[in-house]
Structure 1
Amino acid sequence: MSSKIGCLAMTMTALTNIILGAISVDYILSWFGKDIPLLFDFIIGLIVGEFSVPIAFVGWLLRLFGVF
């Protein structure tokens, strides 16, 4: 039973990383006026999601307060 829960947890973690990574990559690229296909957003988000999510969040906050 615990292996099923562990597998589900790992799957959900990977999916969250891919989805949030893709959203953040797309958001960061929009700053430069660029757009790439969603599949490439997913692939890049899987690789650099740990870095792009915090960068996108800080960029969003800076835009929210009118700094960026």
Structure 2
Amino acid sequence: MANGILAAILSFILPGLGQLYGGQGIMKTVVFLIIALIFYGIGATIFSFIWLLALIFNIYAAYDAYVNVAD
């Protein structure tokens, strides 16, 4: 059985990793990872405020991993 807190930590470090750990499937992992890479890429090159969106997305990914593993 997967640990919800560990899933949240993994997903905060790398969005999608907690979802993969929790058994939510590779597709959800890839989608979360692509969204995070887009946010980080745009934030690093064009707009610095995008980093805030990336942080919010990381927090959401961690929350999603925790909730879905805890169920």
- TM-score tier, shorter chain, comes to 0.3 to 0.5
TM-score, normalising length from structure 1? Answer: 0.36
Structure with the larger helix share: 1
TM-score, normalising length from structure 2? Answer: 0.35
